[in-house]
Amino acid sequence: MYQMFKGASNLEIIYVNEDFDTTSLTNSGEMFQNCTSLMGDKGTTYNSSHVDAAYAKIDRNGTSGYLSLYIKPVKIANNDVGEFYWNGSLVRSLYFNGTQLF
């Protein structure tokens, strides 16, 4: 993953699932070099001192990282509004005839 995202200054979010694991990496140097717009789930922002796999983890309470947890959208029902909380904010999804409108 050496220089994987290097120079991606407009990259804001990287979504990964719970199984994302970098423990077997042998070279992650400059992985996030100059990713100046990158921010993790809990607000960890790019820091030029942290550009390798040490920050290639989901940003959580007590664990700083540049990654965001991907949660697969769940279809509620036809013509229904689904509500749930994500990072302290209320999220609503409206379905009409089986299609998510927002």
Hey, where are the domains in the chain? 1-70, 73-102
Partners of residue 3 on adjacent β-strands? none
* Lowest-pLDDT choice from 2-6, 45-49, 95-99: 95-99
Is the four-CA dihedral 1, 50, 70, 9 of positive or negative sign? negative
- Summarised one tens digit per residue, pLDDT across range 20-32 is 988 888 899 999 9
Is the pTM value of this prediction over 0.75? no
Burial class (CB in 10 A: 0-12, 13-18, 19+), 36: middle
Burial class (CB in 10 A: 0-12, 13-18, 19+), 86: exposed
Considering only the C-alpha atoms of the chain, give the largest distance between any 2 of them, rounded to a whole number of Å: 50
